Amino acid sequence: MFNIECSMIYAQDEKVDIDEWQVMKVEAAKDPFEKRDQFTINFANYTKEEWHYPLPGARVTSPFGGERHHGGTDIKTFAGDTTRAAFPGEVILSGPYFAYGNCVILRHANGLETLYSHHSRNLVKVGQWLQPGDPVGIEGRTGRATGDHLHFETRVKGQAFDSSRIFDHESGKLIRQVFVVTKQKNGTLKFASQKVK
């Protein structure tokens, strides 16, 4: 399972277990750089139950970056398909969000945030805890979008990075790697990885 240690609470000399999702929710609320300037995520240890491709069967129609300085990856299947949570996480935004249209942002215990936008309709509410593969929204074209698709972003503390560093978009699989995020002295983030066979 996840590399998060479960804790115990003591209430009037009675020991009470905190279940795993509660521990992950507490971890998700923390600043990953609270006591350090670097953290790692070992995606090589993730089981199939611990992640899910955000739009199964999709193809990339616009990659991250390029001349447009695109902040995410546009992926497309068919209008009305359901987008899915990539990792367990808490919904921290669900609603219209500028050019993103109907947008959902999840905060994850592994230090990441994922963003899903242009939905015709969001299916989740702020504060809700989602598991990998849970429905997030219905693929659409709200906001600044010329056709039905999902604009998918991976972020750390609001800074987007190329989601193809985590997902192989062609196969729809998680890349087996140790992913390293380092906070530079000027406040910018550096993303690196070491692939695992």
Q: Which residues of 160-172 are buried (b: 16+ CB within 10 A; e: fewer)?
A: bbbbbebbebeeb
**Segment 122-145 mean pLDDT:** 96
Buried (b) or exposed (e) across 88-119, using 16+ Cβ within 10 A? Answer: bbbbebbeebeebbbbbbbbbbbbbbbbbbbb
Q: What does the pLDDT look like over 104-129, one tens digit per residue?
A: 999 998 899 999 999 999 999 999 99
Domain boundaries, the chain: 45-195
Confidence at residue 29, expressed as pLDDT on a 0 to 100 scale: 74
pLDDT at residue 21, rounded to an integer? 55
| Model pTM score | 0.85
Q: Give me the pLDDT at residue 66, please.
A: 79
For 16-65, what is each residue's pLDDT tens digit? 344 565 566 667 678 888 889 999 999 999 999 999 999 999 999 999 98
Out of 2.160.10.10, 3.30.420.40, 2.70.70.10, 2.30.31.10, which CATH number does the structure's domain 45-195 have?
2.70.70.10
Percent of the chain exceeding pLDDT 90 equals 74
Give the pLDDT of residue 4. 37
The pLDDT tens digits for 14-27 are: 443 445 655 666 67
